[in-house]
Structure 1
């Protein structure tokens, strides 16, 4: 499973707090442009009775958490009187000129100035939730504030407007509606402690960056002057005025409210965009077609944070907007099509930043899109290459001949082929007026889709923010059913079931069962990935998964399948990565009427499996067992599960895998080109360990039948997979035996790609039939984000 923007919005948290709550958050302390030297969190008591804060802590989570992100906690002491304030001082920076008032509690958390989540928590133990829904379900959370672009927040959006010089604070009424975007507004920091010390007005020391309300004496500029001919604005950080244009799109939802405007009189330089986003932080007061003049501060905004490697969006922030006219014709859209979008994706900077390189829009697609940032664009009759997801977005290609799959997707064939024609489509039209189209891969978005071109941190490149959106014409995609096996063939499958836990809806178990029984024809052996423990993501030390597996195997029987038995090894609590508390692991299901499992005692979560004997006597030292579970290669990652099976009296060794995820890698659209794949280092080490184990097995018995399968979280051409196969000498990666257009099991950012694999020992090469069974990845209705695979073989 890949984590990328897959965090839902939770409508509300527990009942709003009637006493202690978070009243102000400031993460810009000591940063450039800050007055105060420290970050802080201010609490307030909305009730009349005092609250004992000794039972609480203040905790912080980064705005875009990954699976490895951890909450940081500052324990509190003392009491908070009715109607009073309480000041928690956090880390200092190197800037700022004014110390905070005497704090009531002190911590060392270094908060982001622009995006993060702060919680008031019962107890001092760090929270483990990483999504809005999970945090809402944690009874320890008394109050929570997400600000900037924080994925974890209360209500429909995070509190907007935080910066090095601005905090987010509740109104003096301390209203708590459990909607951060509504309850908090940005302004000058006003920290107050329990003694009442602190400014009631903004500090008198002038900030070193432009104040919240931009001066009218800023630089007069046109939009193309602001955008410049690189990705960085030449006016970044400066106040501007008299910036005129026609409003081409309005975004009145989420945490990035604002509007796009475009100068209808362009310059002659194709490198300079004529469009720009104006970040208002609250509901815009303009409409499409309005002529406006804007004063504000130019900002280079990195969606999701600069440390992720994303590109910046040039915006006007803290705007003063003057409406000049209404009902103006919009600038004609720039048509994006196969002819005008370059085939090459991005320039190379040897791994460095491309931000300051002059844009070359006729040579590189990423440069073309950057040169059109914020401008009115149009695509027409485009093929869908990424199905509609739960967030109201889909992917199309404007280059239909670029690496097409058999279903009409776009195939990812190498690091040098990121497919330049891919674009995300989102909608600015309220869903109540026009529901977002539901489309599968291979469908066509007919007619014209038109709107401003935006950059989206979850997109992997640019997104058309559609004012007008095409209609879906079906491509006729149907879920596949694999071929039936012969009686002398054993069938082995792999299926990533995406964080399966007993608390999931019964419909998910039923759908998985239908896929296993009907689409995969009830394989004899199934390697499952992402089986969670008996209480899912609740992190209370539970590691057993028998309830999860019972619920799944019961559903398989109900769907007409066999009564599968299972073998697995419970992991050490919280040591195998994945969703915190979920304790995901690989599991073998097997049909005991068709295959036997050789149980060999000694396998547990920390004991390494070995090989004993030679020739026909070759055997595992434990079955099931784990490969080198104590090696650092498997830190916070799943350990391979090995099992010894028999089919018609012949041994079959099966290794189920779920390699380390790609979390932390720079995206293919990164400002660093080529992007760094930092997670690859761990997967290569994992692959080498497993390769050596397979090689020992094949050395002990040259006729050993070995199947290695699972979610390797990497491509068939990657260093990790090449290391695992020994470049084909130790294992054959069966995906390479398929026709090129069928080599995919997963669709991400509009690219059809391979993450799941079945590999076999070379002696099986001529005795196998292999199939990726496409039932999930290309469909808007998915049971998992992975397609299962199955191999039919004769041992």
Structure 2
């Protein structure tokens, strides 16, 4: 959990405690009874009905996080619940270890001001903490999907069900992992039948009881799809979300093992697509900050491309500096797989964006037909690269149209490209126009057996994909990849497919298989090449977390040619 700005409150606590009658007379404080039960302080609504009032409550300590690098307080719970299911039996007391060191199982009487700290019902400042014996509180069994967590805020809970890791973006930064019931969570616009409200109710954020950023000691480094058992902790709140602070270790099982290579695809030609996540040879720009990071990034990208072993690979987010960055990648790859194994095409019109799309291929397997082409339609900020190939020796040609459509970020404040609130985020209108332009290119240039592929920045049921499908193209992954495995990107705990391959009717007859190699979206970002925050021992020069997008691979069975 991130650090809380409470220095002023801590000062009030010190002053109040030094003036507290209980602190002045340690022999009698336990004789002063509670003025309210915890349930009365919590109330039956979103906020305490006693806000601003000084109260004295009694309970048993269920979670001790008093250190200043933790939450600077502890959780206490009434062992005798009231009869109202809408009222929680737990509270958080903002009382640092320097004020009163309590431990789990202590029966305490706590005096403090009832408050809502950014939506979290707690006592702050605390003016007296009196340990008056011991007690016990059993963790309350709780099941997801949640019917609403407010009635159990600050309580000790246990989840008897298996829960799936659905998000780990802040695992290294803040020690956070999101779990979900009924398997992983998917983007509502990626596939039919996904309910955004149910996604929320199925989710539970697991925190580490800490205010540290980039802690030296991490929770278990898990992949999405792994399964947690025996989840038990106290339910806090902060930064707009309920947060379970574990009170005992969570048992994670590896239910989504890494594949050292992608599932085999069938065919005599393999085509792939990979977003490189800003492969730059210019240091300190979008990619690596220094030479060592660049070496680490390059090693991971080479491992990924080597594992794909495709005959042609569409690449996104390569630095737009002529052939420099692209050739450096090809040279490093060929150093591993053999001189001359891969060659890079030259983009005839890469555009003015900092990044470009690119295409590498095996000259021993494929022969380019004609020169590379590109669209100069101003609708494209990153113009597509177009190349027709046939197998070495001839045979049926096919045409790759490599794309990186407009991203969903940096939203305009108005107009058709503003976020329309339909789940497709911003710039959707532009992406639809780009999809229409791609269909026009295919038709106007009479491209043989087109395959439109790359990072289209649109999930499977969004308008740009619908536009391409309505124009006669078919999603290869929708046809060949089972729905539970059909994702290439993870955002805000929701998996979905941003990277696509759509083919024309005639080429569809020649597609014999397809797969997505889950080497990136399932991996936490602390396994990438960056050095500034990531624990040094986690880096490996392998394919895992070589990017934030998973590569996809398509198998084609084309007549004619050889090899």
TM-score, with structure 2 as normaliser: 0.72
Contact kept in structure 2, 1:690 and 1:724, CA below 8 Å: no
Count of residue pairs brought into register by the alignment: 484
Name the SS for the 1:245 alignment partner: strand
Contact kept in structure 2, 1:260 and 1:278, CA below 8 Å: yes
Name the SS for the 2:452 alignment partner: strand
Q: What is the alpha-carbon distance in structure 1 between the residues aligned to residue 465 and residue 458 of structure 2?
A: 7
Q: CA deviation at 1:509?
A: 1.8
Structure 2 residue 152 is matched with structure 1 residue 372: yes
Name the SS for the 1:643 alignment partner: strand
Structure 2 residue 275 is matched with structure 1 residue 496: yes
Name the SS for the 1:261 alignment partner: strand
Q: What is the alpha-carbon distance in structure 2 between the residues aligned to residue 227 and residue 627 of structure 1?
A: 60
- Cα deviations by residue, 1:392-448 (Å, 9 ceiling, x for unpaired): 343434445x889xxxxxx995244527433233333899998622333454434x3
Q: CA deviation at 1:788?
A: 0.9
1:264 to 67, 79, 89: 79
Q: What is the alpha-carbon distance in structure 1 between the residues aligned to residue 383 and residue 68 of structure 2?
A: 44
Q: CA deviation at 1:292?
A: 4.1
Q: 1:234 to 1:546 in 2, by over 3 A?
A: farther
Q: CA deviation at 1:659?
A: 3.4
Q: Report which of the two has the higher share of helix.
A: 2
Q: What is the alpha-carbon distance in structure 2 between the residues aligned to residue 260 and residue 676 of structure 1?
A: 42
Structure of higher RCO (CA pairs closer than 8 Å, 6+ residues apart)? 2
1:731 to 466, 470, 473: 473
Q: CA deviation at 1:689?
A: 0.9
Q: What is the alpha-carbon distance in structure 2 between the residues aligned to residue 261 and residue 318 of structure 1?
A: 14
Q: CA deviation at 1:295?
A: 1.4
Other-structure match for 2:129? 323
Q: CA deviation at 1:484?
A: 5.0
Contact kept in structure 1, 2:41 and 2:114, CA below 8 Å: no
Other-structure match for 2:333? 556
Contact kept in structure 2, 1:662 and 1:680, CA below 8 Å: no
Contact kept in structure 2, 1:508 and 1:783, CA below 8 Å: yes
Q: 1:554 to 1:385 in 2, by over 3 A?
A: same
Q: CA deviation at 1:213?
A: 7.4
Q: What is the alpha-carbon distance in structure 2 between the residues aligned to residue 266 and residue 373 of structure 1?
A: 14
Name the SS for the 1:778 alignment partner: coil
Q: CA deviation at 1:773?
A: 1.4
Structure 2 residue 298 is matched with structure 1 residue 509: yes
Contact kept in structure 1, 2:47 and 2:121, CA below 8 Å: no
Residues 597-746 of structure 1: pairs in structure 2 closer than 5 A? 598-599=370-371, 623-625=373-375, 627-629=377-379, 639-648=382-391, 650=397, 652-661=399-408, 677=421, 680=424, 682-700=426-444, 704-726=448-470, 729-737=471-479, 738-746=481-489
Q: What is the alpha-carbon distance in structure 1 between the residues aligned to residue 75 and residue 127 of structure 2?
A: 12
Other-structure match for 1:136? none
Q: 1:793 to 1:436 in 2, by over 3 A?
A: same
Other-structure match for 1:201? none
Structure 2 residue 26 is matched with structure 1 residue 161: no
2:508 to 729, 741, 765: 765
Other-structure match for 2:205? 424
Contact kept in structure 2, 1:295 and 1:321, CA below 8 Å: yes
Which has the higher mean CA deviation after the structures are superposed, 761-770 or 430-439? Answer: 430-439
Q: 1:256 to 1:758 in 2, by over 3 A?
A: farther
Contact kept in structure 2, 1:384 and 1:394, CA below 8 Å: no
Q: What is the alpha-carbon distance in structure 2 between the residues aligned to residue 445 and residue 749 of structure 1?
A: 19
Other-structure match for 2:532? none
- Cα deviations by residue, 1:190-242 (Å, 9 ceiling, x for unpaired): xxxxxxxxxxxxxxxxxxxxxx97999xx965433343333344445x34422
Structure 2 residue 115 is matched with structure 1 residue 298: yes
Structure 2 residue 524 is matched with structure 1 residue 777: no
Contact kept in structure 1, 2:77 and 2:89, CA below 8 Å: yes
Q: 1:414 to 1:221 in 2, by over 3 A?
A: same
Contact kept in structure 2, 1:247 and 1:292, CA below 8 Å: no
Q: What is the alpha-carbon distance in structure 1 between the residues aligned to residue 355 and residue 384 of structure 2?
A: 12
Other-structure match for 1:336? 142
Contact kept in structure 1, 2:185 and 2:493, CA below 8 Å: no
Q: What is the alpha-carbon distance in structure 1 between the residues aligned to residue 218 and residue 298 of structure 2?
A: 28
Q: 1:240 to 1:767 in 2, by over 3 A?
A: farther
Other-structure match for 2:344? 565
Other-structure match for 1:789? 552
Q: What is the alpha-carbon distance in structure 1 between the residues aligned to residue 97 and residue 469 of structure 2?
A: 54
Contact kept in structure 2, 1:659 and 1:713, CA below 8 Å: yes
Q: What is the alpha-carbon distance in structure 1 between the residues aligned to residue 40 and residue 277 of structure 2?
A: 47
Residues 373-392 of structure 1: pairs in structure 2 closer than 5 A? 373-380=153-160, 382-386=162-166, 389-391=171-173, 392=175
Q: Which runs of 5+ in 2 are unaligned?
A: 21-33, 280-286, 413-418, 528-544, 559-563
- Cα deviations by residue, 1:266-291 (Å, 9 ceiling, x for unpaired): 22222222223344699774434342
- Cα deviations by residue, 1:757-786 (Å, 9 ceiling, x for unpaired): 222233332221321112232345533332
Root-mean-square deviation (Å): 4.2
Contact kept in structure 2, 1:221 and 1:240, CA below 8 Å: no
Structure 2 residue 92 is matched with structure 1 residue 277: yes
Q: 1:415 to 1:724 in 2, by over 3 A?
A: farther
Contact kept in structure 1, 2:120 and 2:236, CA below 8 Å: no
Q: 1:456 to 1:320 in 2, by over 3 A?
A: closer
Q: What is the alpha-carbon distance in structure 1 between the residues aligned to residue 255 and residue 40 of structure 2?
A: 44
Name the SS for the 1:696 alignment partner: helix
Residues 70-85 of structure 1: pairs in structure 2 closer than 5 A? none
Contact kept in structure 2, 1:395 and 1:749, CA below 8 Å: no
- Cα deviations by residue, 1:164-188 (Å, 9 ceiling, x for unpaired): xx7xxxxxxxxxxxxxxxxxx9889
Q: CA deviation at 1:376?
A: 0.9
Other-structure match for 1:436? 219
- Cα deviations by residue, 1:477-507 (Å, 9 ceiling, x for unpaired): 13142425543x3x33222233333533523
Q: 1:378 to 1:749 in 2, by over 3 A?
A: farther
Q: 1:380 to 1:529 in 2, by over 3 A?
A: farther
Other-structure match for 2:358? 587
Q: 1:484 to 1:735 in 2, by over 3 A?
A: closer
Other-structure match for 1:525? 312
Q: What is the alpha-carbon distance in structure 1 between the residues aligned to residue 58 and residue 131 of structure 2?
A: 11
TM-score, with structure 1 as normaliser: 0.53
Q: 1:744 to 1:414 in 2, by over 3 A?
A: same
Name the SS for the 1:427 alignment partner: coil
Q: CA deviation at 1:571?
A: 5.6
Residues 531-542 of structure 1: pairs in structure 2 closer than 5 A? 531=318, 533=319
Q: Which runs of 5+ in 1 are unaligned?
A: 6-148, 150-156, 167-184, 189-211, 302-312, 343-364, 405-410, 534-542, 577-582, 601-622, 666-674
